[in-house]
Amino acid sequence: MNILENAEKYAEGKANQAITKAIADAYIEGYKAGYKDREEEIPMDLRHNKTEYVDLGLPSGTLWASDYEKSDGEYIYLPYDKAKCMNLPTEEQWQELNDYCEFVYDEYYDDDENKIFKVTIIGANGNSIEFLGIGYFKTQKEDKDHALCWLHNEGDDSEKQAIYMFIWYNHGYRNKCSGTNNYFSGYKLPVRLVR
CA dihedral 193, 49, 189, 183 (to 10 degrees): -50
Task: Give percent of the chain above pLDDT 70.
Answer: 86
Model confidence at 46: pLDDT above 70: no
pTM listed for this prediction = 0.72
Q: What is the pLDDT of residue 31?
A: 61
Sheet holding 159-170, edge to edge: 146-150, 159-170, 173-184
Name the nearest CA neighbour of 149 among 66, 80, 81.
Answer: 80
How far, CA to CA in Å, does 77 sit from each of 16, 38, 115, 118, 151? 50, 17, 20, 18, 14
Residue extents of the structural domains in the chain: 1-41, 47-190
**Mean pLDDT, to the nearest integer, of 117-144?**
90
Q: What is the pLDDT of residue 36?
A: 54
Distance of CA 116 to the CA centre of its chain: 22
Q: What is the pLDDT of residue 37?
A: 57
Question: What would the pLDDT profile of 51-88 be if each residue is shown by its tens digit?
Answer: 999 999 999 999 999 999 999 899 999 999 999 999 99
